[in-house]
Amino acid sequence: MSDHLPPPPSTLPLGRSGLSVSPIAWGMWRFAGDDVPAARARVEAALAAGVTLFDTADIYGPDNGEPFGAAEALLGRVFAESPGLRDTMVLATKGGIVMGVPYDSSATYLASAIDASLARLGVDRIELWQIHRPDMLTHPQEAARALEDAHRAGKIAAIGVSNHSAAQAAALAKFLPVPLASHQPEFSALALGPLTDGVLDQAMAEEMAVLAWSPLGGGRLARPIDDHVHAVAALLDLKADAYGVSRAAAAYSWIMAHPARPIPIVGTQNPERIGEIPQALVPRWTRAEWYAVLQTSMGEKLP
Protein backbone atom coordinates (compact mmCIF):
# COMPACT_ATOMS: atom_id res chain seq x y z
CA MET A 1 0.00 0.00 0.00
CA SER A 2 1.32 3.45 -0.94
CA ASP A 3 2.06 5.77 1.96
CA HIS A 4 1.33 8.80 -0.21
CA LEU A 5 -1.68 10.96 0.54
CA PRO A 6 -4.57 10.62 -1.94
CA PRO A 7 -4.34 12.84 -5.02
CA PRO A 8 -6.89 15.61 -5.52
CA PRO A 9 -9.94 14.58 -7.57
CA SER A 10 -10.35 15.97 -11.06
CA THR A 11 -13.41 17.95 -9.97
CA LEU A 12 -14.70 19.13 -6.61
CA PRO A 13 -18.16 20.06 -5.38
CA LEU A 14 -18.65 23.76 -4.69
CA GLY A 15 -20.00 23.04 -1.26
CA ARG A 16 -23.58 21.81 -1.37
CA SER A 17 -24.51 24.17 -4.20
CA GLY A 18 -24.80 21.41 -6.79
CA LEU A 19 -22.00 23.02 -8.82
CA SER A 20 -18.71 21.29 -9.60
CA VAL A 21 -15.40 23.07 -10.13
CA SER A 22 -11.79 22.39 -10.98
CA PRO A 23 -9.38 21.63 -8.11
CA ILE A 24 -7.46 24.82 -8.96
CA ALA A 25 -8.93 28.28 -9.56
CA TRP A 26 -7.62 31.29 -11.44
CA GLY A 27 -7.78 34.66 -9.71
CA MET A 28 -8.09 38.13 -11.21
CA TRP A 29 -6.67 40.41 -8.55
CA ARG A 30 -4.09 41.59 -11.13
CA PHE A 31 -6.42 41.30 -14.13
CA ALA A 32 -5.94 44.77 -15.58
CA GLY A 33 -5.39 46.86 -18.68
CA ASP A 34 -7.32 47.98 -21.76
CA ASP A 35 -6.15 45.26 -24.17
CA VAL A 36 -9.22 43.02 -24.44
CA PRO A 37 -7.60 40.45 -26.79
CA ALA A 38 -4.71 40.06 -24.31
CA ALA A 39 -7.17 39.70 -21.45
CA ARG A 40 -9.12 37.13 -23.42
CA ALA A 41 -5.89 35.20 -24.05
CA ARG A 42 -5.32 34.93 -20.29
CA VAL A 43 -8.85 33.64 -19.75
CA GLU A 44 -8.46 31.15 -22.59
CA ALA A 45 -5.10 29.99 -21.21
CA ALA A 46 -6.74 29.22 -17.86
CA LEU A 47 -9.56 27.33 -19.54
CA ALA A 48 -7.05 25.38 -21.64
CA ALA A 49 -5.22 24.48 -18.41
CA GLY A 50 -8.40 22.84 -17.10
CA VAL A 51 -9.52 25.67 -14.82
CA THR A 52 -13.27 26.12 -14.53
CA LEU A 53 -13.45 28.31 -11.38
CA PHE A 54 -12.65 32.00 -12.01
CA ASP A 55 -12.43 34.30 -8.99
CA THR A 56 -12.66 38.08 -9.08
CA ALA A 57 -14.02 40.90 -6.87
CA ASP A 58 -15.47 44.38 -7.24
CA ILE A 59 -12.54 45.88 -5.31
CA TYR A 60 -9.99 44.54 -7.80
CA GLY A 61 -8.79 47.61 -9.66
CA PRO A 62 -7.45 50.27 -7.28
CA ASP A 63 -4.42 48.13 -6.34
CA ASN A 64 -3.51 48.19 -10.03
CA GLY A 65 -3.99 51.95 -10.33
CA GLU A 66 -7.41 51.45 -11.91
CA PRO A 67 -10.94 52.34 -10.75
CA PHE A 68 -13.11 50.31 -8.41
CA GLY A 69 -14.68 47.47 -10.42
CA ALA A 70 -12.03 47.54 -13.18
CA ALA A 71 -11.25 43.81 -13.14
CA GLU A 72 -14.92 42.87 -13.37
CA ALA A 73 -15.44 45.43 -16.14
CA LEU A 74 -12.49 44.02 -18.12
CA LEU A 75 -13.89 40.52 -17.83
CA GLY A 76 -17.24 41.89 -18.96
CA ARG A 77 -15.58 43.28 -22.09
CA VAL A 78 -14.02 39.86 -22.72
CA PHE A 79 -17.47 38.26 -22.45
CA ALA A 80 -18.93 40.88 -24.79
CA GLU A 81 -16.27 40.08 -27.39
CA SER A 82 -16.41 36.30 -26.90
CA PRO A 83 -19.82 35.42 -25.42
CA GLY A 84 -19.15 31.68 -25.53
CA LEU A 85 -16.49 31.95 -22.85
CA ARG A 86 -19.05 32.78 -20.18
CA ASP A 87 -20.69 29.38 -20.46
CA THR A 88 -17.40 27.52 -19.96
CA MET A 89 -16.74 28.71 -16.40
CA VAL A 90 -18.03 28.92 -12.86
CA LEU A 91 -17.83 32.62 -12.05
CA ALA A 92 -17.11 33.82 -8.52
CA THR A 93 -16.92 37.39 -7.30
CA LYS A 94 -16.94 39.25 -4.01
CA GLY A 95 -18.24 42.49 -2.53
CA GLY A 96 -18.61 44.37 0.72
CA ILE A 97 -15.33 46.33 0.76
CA VAL A 98 -15.98 50.05 0.35
CA MET A 99 -13.01 52.34 -0.15
CA GLY A 100 -12.62 54.67 2.82
CA VAL A 101 -15.18 52.87 5.03
CA PRO A 102 -13.85 50.02 4.83
CA TYR A 103 -16.63 47.36 5.10
CA ASP A 104 -20.38 47.44 4.50
CA SER A 105 -22.56 44.32 4.55
CA SER A 106 -25.84 46.15 5.14
CA ALA A 107 -28.73 44.74 3.16
CA THR A 108 -28.98 47.88 1.04
CA TYR A 109 -25.31 47.91 0.16
CA LEU A 110 -25.02 44.18 -0.59
CA ALA A 111 -28.03 44.36 -2.90
CA SER A 112 -26.50 47.28 -4.77
CA ALA A 113 -23.08 45.61 -4.92
CA ILE A 114 -24.49 42.45 -6.43
CA ASP A 115 -26.41 44.42 -9.06
CA ALA A 116 -23.33 46.50 -9.86
CA SER A 117 -21.18 43.39 -10.33
CA LEU A 118 -23.78 41.85 -12.64
CA ALA A 119 -23.80 45.04 -14.71
CA ARG A 120 -20.01 45.32 -14.95
CA LEU A 121 -19.67 41.65 -15.89
CA GLY A 122 -22.56 41.84 -18.34
CA VAL A 123 -24.12 38.67 -16.96
CA ASP A 124 -27.49 37.84 -15.41
CA ARG A 125 -26.15 35.38 -12.84
CA ILE A 126 -23.02 34.89 -10.73
CA GLU A 127 -22.42 31.31 -9.64
CA LEU A 128 -20.67 32.18 -6.36
CA TRP A 129 -21.03 35.53 -4.59
CA GLN A 130 -18.95 36.04 -1.46
CA ILE A 131 -18.88 38.66 1.28
CA HIS A 132 -15.30 39.82 0.89
CA ARG A 133 -14.58 40.71 4.52
CA PRO A 134 -16.79 40.67 7.62
CA ASP A 135 -18.57 43.89 8.51
CA MET A 136 -18.73 44.05 12.31
CA LEU A 137 -21.49 46.67 12.17
CA THR A 138 -24.02 44.53 10.29
CA HIS A 139 -26.03 41.84 12.02
CA PRO A 140 -25.60 38.56 10.10
CA GLN A 141 -29.36 38.28 9.79
CA GLU A 142 -29.45 41.53 7.80
CA ALA A 143 -26.67 40.40 5.45
CA ALA A 144 -28.37 37.05 5.06
CA ARG A 145 -31.63 38.75 4.06
CA ALA A 146 -29.95 40.54 1.13
CA LEU A 147 -28.16 37.38 0.03
CA GLU A 148 -31.37 35.34 0.27
CA ASP A 149 -33.19 37.90 -1.86
CA ALA A 150 -30.48 37.81 -4.54
CA HIS A 151 -30.44 34.02 -4.47
CA ARG A 152 -34.22 33.81 -4.77
CA ALA A 153 -34.13 36.24 -7.70
CA GLY A 154 -31.60 34.01 -9.50
CA LYS A 155 -28.88 36.65 -9.42
CA ILE A 156 -26.50 34.41 -7.46
CA ALA A 157 -26.45 30.62 -7.39
CA ALA A 158 -24.37 30.07 -4.27
CA ILE A 159 -23.19 32.11 -1.29
CA GLY A 160 -19.73 32.13 0.27
CA VAL A 161 -17.54 34.09 2.65
CA SER A 162 -14.01 35.42 2.33
CA ASN A 163 -11.66 36.21 5.23
CA HIS A 164 -14.30 35.18 7.78
CA SER A 165 -13.61 33.26 10.95
CA ALA A 166 -15.41 29.98 11.53
CA ALA A 167 -17.65 31.71 14.08
CA GLN A 168 -18.51 34.55 11.69
CA ALA A 169 -19.38 32.05 8.96
CA ALA A 170 -21.52 30.03 11.37
CA ALA A 171 -23.40 33.15 12.44
CA LEU A 172 -24.22 34.05 8.84
CA ALA A 173 -25.16 30.45 8.00
CA LYS A 174 -27.61 30.44 10.89
CA PHE A 175 -29.82 32.92 9.05
CA LEU A 176 -29.48 31.60 5.49
CA PRO A 177 -32.03 29.24 3.91
CA VAL A 178 -29.27 27.62 1.81
CA PRO A 179 -25.93 26.22 3.02
CA LEU A 180 -22.86 28.41 2.80
CA ALA A 181 -20.94 27.04 -0.17
CA SER A 182 -17.42 28.27 0.54
CA HIS A 183 -14.74 29.83 2.68
CA GLN A 184 -11.97 31.91 1.11
CA PRO A 185 -9.07 32.24 3.59
CA GLU A 186 -5.43 33.06 3.03
CA PHE A 187 -3.70 29.68 3.11
CA SER A 188 -0.27 28.58 2.00
CA ALA A 189 2.86 26.87 3.29
CA LEU A 190 3.63 30.24 4.91
CA ALA A 191 0.10 31.22 6.06
CA LEU A 192 -1.05 28.36 8.25
CA GLY A 193 -3.96 29.91 10.15
CA PRO A 194 -6.79 27.85 8.59
CA LEU A 195 -5.17 24.65 9.86
CA THR A 196 -5.77 25.64 13.48
CA ASP A 197 -8.36 28.43 13.59
CA GLY A 198 -11.30 26.18 12.79
CA VAL A 199 -11.89 27.24 9.18
CA LEU A 200 -10.76 24.00 7.53
CA ASP A 201 -12.47 21.95 10.23
CA GLN A 202 -15.72 23.82 9.68
CA ALA A 203 -15.38 23.42 5.93
CA MET A 204 -15.08 19.65 6.28
CA ALA A 205 -17.90 19.42 8.83
CA GLU A 206 -20.28 21.58 6.78
CA GLU A 207 -19.16 20.37 3.32
CA MET A 208 -17.94 23.83 2.30
CA ALA A 209 -15.42 24.39 -0.47
CA VAL A 210 -12.21 26.21 0.49
CA LEU A 211 -10.67 28.73 -1.91
CA ALA A 212 -7.12 29.46 -0.81
CA TRP A 213 -5.93 32.95 -1.70
CA SER A 214 -2.25 33.91 -1.95
CA PRO A 215 -1.13 30.25 -2.19
CA LEU A 216 2.47 31.33 -2.80
CA GLY A 217 2.57 33.40 0.37
CA GLY A 218 2.21 36.72 -1.40
CA GLY A 219 5.02 35.76 -3.78
CA ARG A 220 7.48 35.09 -0.98
CA LEU A 221 7.77 31.42 -1.93
CA ALA A 222 8.65 32.41 -5.48
CA ARG A 223 11.31 34.87 -4.30
CA PRO A 224 12.45 33.94 -0.78
CA ILE A 225 14.02 36.86 1.07
CA ASP A 226 14.91 35.33 4.43
CA ASP A 227 16.24 32.09 5.88
CA HIS A 228 12.84 30.95 7.12
CA VAL A 229 11.19 31.18 3.70
CA HIS A 230 14.30 29.70 2.06
CA ALA A 231 13.97 26.65 4.32
CA VAL A 232 10.31 26.12 3.34
CA ALA A 233 11.12 26.70 -0.33
CA ALA A 234 13.94 24.16 -0.15
CA LEU A 235 11.52 21.43 0.92
CA LEU A 236 9.12 22.41 -1.85
CA ASP A 237 12.02 22.26 -4.30
CA LEU A 238 12.79 18.68 -3.25
CA LYS A 239 9.22 17.72 -4.13
CA ALA A 240 9.28 19.77 -7.33
CA ASP A 241 12.54 18.18 -8.48
CA ALA A 242 11.27 14.69 -7.71
CA TYR A 243 8.28 15.20 -10.00
CA GLY A 244 9.78 17.51 -12.60
CA VAL A 245 7.51 20.44 -11.82
CA SER A 246 7.94 24.02 -10.64
CA ARG A 247 8.22 25.13 -7.01
CA ALA A 248 4.88 26.88 -7.42
CA ALA A 249 3.27 23.60 -8.49
CA ALA A 250 4.71 21.89 -5.42
CA ALA A 251 3.37 24.69 -3.21
CA TYR A 252 -0.12 24.34 -4.71
CA SER A 253 0.00 20.56 -4.33
CA TRP A 254 0.93 20.87 -0.64
CA ILE A 255 -2.24 22.92 -0.10
CA MET A 256 -4.39 20.47 -2.05
CA ALA A 257 -3.13 17.48 -0.05
CA HIS A 258 -5.20 18.54 2.97
CA PRO A 259 -8.44 16.53 3.28
CA ALA A 260 -10.55 19.70 3.12
CA ARG A 261 -9.35 19.79 -0.50
CA PRO A 262 -8.51 23.51 -0.58
CA ILE A 263 -8.57 25.03 -4.06
CA PRO A 264 -5.52 27.26 -4.65
CA ILE A 265 -6.35 30.50 -6.44
CA VAL A 266 -3.50 30.93 -8.90
CA GLY A 267 -2.89 34.60 -9.51
CA THR A 268 -0.33 34.70 -12.32
CA GLN A 269 -1.34 36.82 -15.31
CA ASN A 270 1.33 35.31 -17.59
CA PRO A 271 -0.33 32.96 -20.12
CA GLU A 272 2.74 30.71 -20.20
CA ARG A 273 2.72 30.26 -16.43
CA ILE A 274 -1.08 29.88 -16.46
CA GLY A 275 -0.47 26.97 -18.83
CA GLU A 276 1.66 25.30 -16.16
CA ILE A 277 -1.26 25.03 -13.71
CA PRO A 278 -1.82 21.29 -14.40
CA GLN A 279 1.66 20.60 -12.99
CA ALA A 280 0.17 21.10 -9.53
CA LEU A 281 -1.88 17.92 -9.93
CA VAL A 282 1.24 15.76 -10.33
CA PRO A 283 3.16 15.73 -7.00
CA ARG A 284 2.16 13.31 -4.26
CA TRP A 285 3.06 13.84 -0.63
CA THR A 286 3.71 11.41 2.18
CA ARG A 287 2.55 12.40 5.64
CA ALA A 288 6.17 12.81 6.77
CA GLU A 289 6.97 15.13 3.86
CA TRP A 290 3.82 17.20 4.33
CA TYR A 291 4.41 17.60 8.07
CA ALA A 292 8.07 18.49 7.42
CA VAL A 293 6.92 21.52 5.41
CA LEU A 294 4.43 22.44 8.14
CA GLN A 295 6.96 22.22 10.97
CA THR A 296 9.60 24.11 9.01
CA SER A 297 7.09 26.87 8.36
CA MET A 298 6.06 26.91 12.03
CA GLY A 299 9.71 27.05 13.10
CA GLU A 300 9.09 24.38 15.69
CA LYS A 301 8.27 20.71 16.05
CA LEU A 302 4.75 19.54 16.69
CA PRO A 303 4.34 18.00 20.14
Residues marked as catalytic: 60
- Give the whole-angstrom CA distance, residue 144 versus residue 8: 32
- Give the whole-angstrom CA distance, residue 61 versus residue 261: 29
Omega within 30 of 0 (cis) for the link into 102: yes
**What phi, psi does 261 have (nearest 5°)?**
55, 55
Q: Between vectors from CA 246 to CA 240 and to CA 251, what angle results, nearest 5°?
A: 70
**Helix (H, G, I), strand (E, B), or coil: what is residue 12?**
strand
- Give the whole-angstrom CA distance, residue 173 versus residue 178: 8
How many Cα atoms occupy the beta-carbon half-sphere of 35 within 13 Å? 6
- Give the whole-angstrom CA distance, residue 223 versus residue 212: 20
DSSP H helices in the chain: 36-48, 70-81, 107-121, 140-152, 166-174, 193-196, 199-206, 227-243, 247-256, 271-274, 287-298
- Please give the full DSSP string across 219-246, using - where no structure is assigned: TTTTS--SHHHHHHHHHHHHHHHHHT--
- Give the whole-angstrom CA distance, residue 32 versus residue 65: 9
Strand partners, 130: 94, 160
